[in-house]
Chain A
Amino acid sequence: MQISGAEILVRSLQEEGVEFIFGYPGGAVLEIYDAIFRQNQFKHVLVRHEQAAVHAADAYSRSSDKVGVALVTSGPGATNAVTGIATAYMDSIPMVVISGQVPTPAIGMDAFQEVDMVGITRPCVKHNFLVKDVTELASTIKKAFYIAKTGRPGPVVVDIAKDVTQAKHEFSYPDSVQIRSYVPVTRGHPGQIKKAVGLLLEAKRPYIYVGGGAVQGNAAAEVTELVRLLGVPCTNTLMGLGAYPGSDRQFLGMLGMHGTYEANMAMQNCDVLLAVGARFDDRVISVPSHFLGAPKKIIHIDVDPSSIAKRVKADVPIVGDVKHVLAEMLELLRASSQRPDAQALAAWWQQVEAWRDRKSLWYQPSDELIKPQHVVQTLYEVTGGNAIVTSDVGQHQMWAAQYYKFDRPKQWLNSGGLGTMGFGLPAAIGAQLANPDATVACITGEGSIQMNIQELSTAKQYHTPVKVLSLNNRYLGMVRQWQEFFYGTRYSESYMDALPDFVKIAEAYGHVGMKIENPADVEPAIREAFSQKNRERLVFMDFRTDQSENVFPMVGNGKGLDQMDLPPHMREQGGEAADRDYGNLC
Chain B
Amino acid sequence: MRHILSILLENEAGALSRVVGLFSARGYNIDSLTVSTTEDATLSRMTIVTHGSDEVIEQITKQLNKLIEVVKVIDLNESEHIEREMMLIKVRATGKEREEMKRMADIFRGRIIDVTEKTYTIELTGTSDKLGAFIEAVDRSVILETVRTGASGIGRGERILKI
Mask for B67-98, Cβ within 8 A of A = 1, else 0? 01111000000000000000000000000000
Minimal beta-carbon separation of B8 from chain A (angstroms): 8
A310 surroundings in chain B (CB, below 8 A): 59
Q: Do A147 and B17 touch (CB < 8 A)?
A: no
Asked if A306 is at the interface of the complex by the 8 Å CB criterion, the answer is: yes
Q: Do A306 and B62 touch (CB < 8 A)?
A: yes
Q: Do B71 and A181 touch (CB < 8 A)?
A: yes
Q: Do B66 and A119 touch (CB < 8 A)?
A: no
Q: Do A304 and B66 touch (CB < 8 A)?
A: yes
Q: Do B66 and A180 touch (CB < 8 A)?
A: no
Q: Do A306 and B68 touch (CB < 8 A)?
A: no
A123 touches which of B25, B62, B71 (Cβ 8 Å)? B25
Minimal beta-carbon separation of A522 from chain B (angstroms): 45
Minimal beta-carbon separation of A150 from chain B (angstroms): 11
Minimal beta-carbon separation of B84 from chain A (angstroms): 26
Q: Do B62 and A181 touch (CB < 8 A)?
A: no
Minimal beta-carbon separation of A354 from chain B (angstroms): 37
Asked if B14 is at the interface of the complex by the 8 Å CB criterion, the answer is: yes
Asked if A342 is at the interface of the complex by the 8 Å CB criterion, the answer is: no
Q: Do A181 and B59 touch (CB < 8 A)?
A: no
B66 surroundings in chain A (CB, below 8 A): 304-306
Q: Do A126 and B14 touch (CB < 8 A)?
A: no
Select from chain A the residue with minimum beta-carbon distance to B70: A181
Asked if A182 is at the interface of the complex by the 8 Å CB criterion, the answer is: yes
Q: Do A122 and B71 touch (CB < 8 A)?
A: no
In the assembled complex, the Cα of A372 lies from the Cα of B55 at a distance in Å of 43
Mask for A163-180, Cβ within 8 A of B = 1, else 0? 000000000000000011
Minimal beta-carbon separation of B17 from chain A (angstroms): 7
In the assembled complex, the Cα of A309 lies from the Cα of B65 at a distance in Å of 15
Q: Which of A274-333 contact B (CB under 8 A)?
A: 304-306, 309-310, 313
Q: Which of B24-69 contact A (CB under 8 A)?
A: 25, 55, 58-59, 62-63, 65-66, 68-69
Knowing A123-B21, A126-B68, A127-B68 touch, does A180 contact B62 (C-beta < 8 A)?
no
A306 touches which of B13, B14, B59 (Cβ 8 Å)? B59
Q: Do B21 and A122 touch (CB < 8 A)?
A: yes
B58 surroundings in chain A (CB, below 8 A): 309
Asked if A221 is at the interface of the complex by the 8 Å CB criterion, the answer is: no
B25 surroundings in chain A (CB, below 8 A): 123
A119 surroundings in chain B (CB, below 8 A): 17
A126 surroundings in chain B (CB, below 8 A): 68
Knowing A122-B17, A309-B55 touch, does A179 contact B68 (C-beta < 8 A)?
yes
A180 touches which of B13, B17, B21, B71 (Cβ 8 Å)? B71
Minimal beta-carbon separation of A82 from chain B (angstroms): 15
Q: Do B14 and A130 touch (CB < 8 A)?
A: yes
B65 surroundings in chain A (CB, below 8 A): 305-306
In the assembled complex, the Cα of A119 lies from the Cα of B17 at a distance in Å of 9
A182 surroundings in chain B (CB, below 8 A): 68
In the assembled complex, the Cα of A119 lies from the Cα of B59 at a distance in Å of 23
Minimal beta-carbon separation of A99 from chain B (angstroms): 15
B1 surroundings in chain A (CB, below 8 A): none
Asked if A479 is at the interface of the complex by the 8 Å CB criterion, the answer is: no
Q: Do A181 and B10 touch (CB < 8 A)?
A: yes
B17 surroundings in chain A (CB, below 8 A): 119, 122
Q: Do B69 and A181 touch (CB < 8 A)?
A: yes
Minimal beta-carbon separation of A44 from chain B (angstroms): 28
Select from chain B the residue with minimum beta-carbon distance to A132: B13
Asked if A118 is at the interface of the complex by the 8 Å CB criterion, the answer is: yes
In the assembled complex, the Cα of A40 lies from the Cα of B36 at a distance in Å of 48
A123 surroundings in chain B (CB, below 8 A): 21, 25
In the assembled complex, the Cα of A305 lies from the Cα of B67 at a distance in Å of 12
Q: Do A122 and B18 touch (CB < 8 A)?
A: yes
Most buried by A among B17, B65, B66, B69: B66
Q: Do A181 and B68 touch (CB < 8 A)?
A: yes
Mask for B93-133, Cβ within 8 A of A = 1, else 0? 00000000000000000000000000000000000000000
B5 surroundings in chain A (CB, below 8 A): none
Most buried by B among A118, A122, A127, A306: A306
Asked if B160 is at the interface of the complex by the 8 Å CB criterion, the answer is: no
List residues of A whose CB falls within 8 A of some B CB: 118-119, 122-123, 126-127, 130, 147, 179-182, 304-306, 309-310, 313
A-B contacts, 12 of them at CB < 8 A, read A122-B14, A122-B17, A122-B21, A123-B21, A127-B68, A130-B13, A147-B68, A180-B163, A182-B68, A305-B66, A306-B66, A309-B59
In the complex, besides A309-B55, A313-B55, 8 extra interface pairs with C-beta distance below 8 angstroms are A123-B21, A126-B68, A179-B68, A180-B71, A181-B10, A181-B71, A309-B59, A310-B59
A-B complex: 4 closest residue pairs judged by Cβ atoms: A306-B62, A181-B71, A127-B68, A123-B25
